[in-house]
Amino acid sequence: MQTPDIQNILAELTRSIGETPKDILPIAESGSARKYFRIITDSKSLIGTYSNNVEENEAFLAFSKHFHELGLNVPEVFAVNEERTCYLQSDFGDDNLFAHVQKALMANNVSALRPFERPQGPQAQGPLDNGPSTGSGTLASYSENVINLYKKALSHLVKLQVLGHQGLDYSKAYPTERFDRQAIIDDLNYFKYYFVKPHEEIDFNETRLGKDFEAFADFVSQAPCDFFMYRDFQSRNIMVKDGELYFIDFQGGRKGPLNYDVVSLLYQVKAQIPQATRDELVEYYKAELSQYMSPEAVKFDTYQPYFVYLRLMQVLGAYGFRGLIQKKSHFIESIPYALKELKTWNEAHPLNKYPELQHVLSQLSTLNYPLTLNSQLSTLNSRLTVTINSFSFKKGYPNDFSGNGGGFVFDCRALPNPGREPEFKTKTGRDWEVIDYLMAKPPVHVFLDHVKGIVGQSVDNYRERHFSNLMVSFGCTGGQHRSVFFAQTIYEWLKTTYPDIHLKLNHIERKITEETGL
């Protein structure tokens, strides 16, 4: 079904509730295949949703009706088409909890964002069952306003989990009614197949890892599961409107344990909540839960560390599938945050009971997913980032961490090669002797003019269209002379010509990185 057909269906649904659509505006897609539209009428704004997954739609519609009747803060569904592929729901606006988190990150300057910096002090060690909490957050503190929003979210979560569970028809749940042992195995395999296996540098014994997965699932599946499990309870799904919180995207919910949703919210990797703040919020959650039951009765603290592991591994599996395979940039950008979080947690709570799984986790810090303050601020500011690489064709093409499929790759091997001259053997394309040599060659100027024309055209166009990433790579035989010269020259030219863009320069074989344009 094409978008114009969807819009016609949504327009008919809007008229069926006595409203006349003035405008139907597509909303940017995220991780799912669902399509969302904002429908503007004379008296209100609605969200129109389309998905051809009818079973998933039925889960959302049934859960939403049940929760809304209980007075919980979820969307009201106003109309559904006969095919059950389109429906209208409440519009809670565009502000969500994660937007408030981003402001907190910016306000605190995110001054030490190093994914694999080992924590200092005694918190860096400790066995899983009795080790102290780890200080993985990068902020000195969250603002009081953001902490209060998290507390409010946790208060609502308890009601969703406990009150929402009562009388809920789990036969409508999709894809499964219960978060059981098999669901845990599925999450672990998701991590293995979509994140671990694509990284061939991670060494492991598949048979032993499978046995560890089985043992891990045996233990975690014993957690009490007679509650509603939201499944994706994270800050992007928590809308903020007029000071109140509203909850969306619970169509993957099922009967399950309490810990999973608490971990999903507090260990959302790009939120970077400081561990001390997490600990405070967990205690607040348990106090709220105690209005209905004793946290000790459901062994909340016993299972909490294991659910942190489970959720972080599941998240990396999702990032691998959505990012590395489907090439969606948002998920690729999130990988280093998840690696940082999992490494820090593992250092404080090693999984010594599961040696092969521990062996896999210990290797994650060797993966090359750079994360810097500059890259984060560039993402938050949504400016064009141009990444410029020099590389050796012998070693293969550079990775595209933006998820946008690369850009330009220029082959410099048809140009005069300084590497053939004995006096340049130890020099690079950044040394003045090599620069003078190349600048004296007419073909170099022709090549450089063509590159400037092509790259400049794309930069102009991408800025006008508010694109976020462009990659320009220069390859030669060894990645030492010609590719380095052209990458450095284009970097300096772009820095002067387009001072408003964000530039990253990577001389891959030389292991030199520069950045400008913040």
Regarding whether 356 and 386 lie in a shared domain, the answer is: no
Q: Which two tokens stand for residue 105?
A: 């990150």
Q: Report pLDDT for 115.
A: 38
Q: Is residue 356 part of a domain?
A: yes
Helix axes 300-319, 329-348, angle to 10 degrees: 150
Placement of tokens 């500011």 in the chain: 381
Q: Is residue 126 part of a domain?
A: no
Q: Is residue 122 part of a domain?
A: no
Q: Is residue 139 part of a domain?
A: yes
What value, to the nearest 5°, has the Cα angle with vertex 380 and ends 144 and 515?
A: 125
Q: Report pLDDT for 371.
A: 56
Regarding whether 359 and 403 lie in a shared domain, the answer is: no
Q: Residue 463 belongs to what domain range?
A: 373-516
Q: Report pLDDT for 3.
A: 46
Regarding whether 276 and 144 lie in a shared domain, the answer is: yes
Q: Report pLDDT for 325.
A: 85
CA distances from 32 to 29, 128, 179, 251, 328 (A): 7, 34, 21, 12, 11
Regarding whether 434 and 328 lie in a shared domain, the answer is: no
Regarding whether 145 and 81 lie in a shared domain, the answer is: no
Element (H, E) at 77: strand 77-80
Nearest 10 degrees: CA dihedral of 181, 185, 191, 192?
A: 160
Kindly report the CATH number assigned to the domain that includes residue 63: 3.30.200.20
The residues, ordered by sequence, that sit 6+ positions from 287 with a Cβ below 8 Å of its Cβ are none
Regarding whether 343 and 205 lie in a shared domain, the answer is: yes
Domain termination site, one of 366, 401, 416: 366
Regarding whether 354 and 386 lie in a shared domain, the answer is: no
Regarding whether 334 and 295 lie in a shared domain, the answer is: yes
Q: Is residue 112 part of a domain?
A: no
Regarding whether 488 and 425 lie in a shared domain, the answer is: yes
Helix axes 181-191, 300-319, angle to 10 degrees: 40
Regarding whether 447 and 326 lie in a shared domain, the answer is: no
Regarding whether 438 and 379 lie in a shared domain, the answer is: yes
Q: Is residue 145 part of a domain?
A: yes
Within 465-510, where are the H helices?
A: 482-497
- For residues 51 and 81, the answer to whether their CB atoms sit within 8 Å is no
Kindly report the CATH number assigned to the domain that includes residue 343: 3.90.1200.10
Q: Report pLDDT for 1.
A: 39
Domain termination site, one of 57, 90, 123: 90
Number of domains making up the chain: 3
DSSP state of 399: P
Domain termination site, one of 366, 398, 423: 366
Produce one character per residue of 486-508: b if its CB has 16 or more CB atoms within 10 Å, e if not. bbbbbbeebbeebeebbbbbbbb
The residues, ordered by sequence, that sit 6+ positions from 380 with a Cβ below 8 Å of its Cβ are 102, 105, 106
Distance (Å, whole) CA 374 – CA 133: 29
Regarding whether 301 and 398 lie in a shared domain, the answer is: no
Q: List the chain pLDDT tens, one digit each, 518 residues.
A: 344 489 999 999 999 999 999 988 888 666 567 889 999 999 999 999 999 999 999 999 999 999 999 999 999 999 999 999 999 999 999 889 998 887 777 666 433 333 333 333 333 333 344 343 344 444 445 788 999 999 999 999 999 999 999 999 999 999 999 999 999 999 999 999 999 999 989 999 999 999 999 999 999 999 999 999 999 999 999 999 999 999 999 999 999 999 999 999 999 998 889 999 999 999 999 999 999 999 999 999 999 999 999 999 999 999 999 888 887 767 887 899 999 999 999 999 999 999 999 999 999 988 877 654 444 443 444 578 899 999 999 988 888 766 666 789 999 999 999 999 999 999 999 998 999 999 999 999 999 999 999 999 999 888 878 788 899 999 999 999 999 999 999 999 998 888 878 899 999 998 888 877 55
Cα 216 to chain centroid distance, Å, stands at 25
CA distances from 21 to 39, 41, 86, 264, 268 (A): 6, 5, 15, 37, 37
Q: Is residue 111 part of a domain?
A: no
Q: Is residue 121 part of a domain?
A: no
Q: Report pLDDT for 373.
A: 40
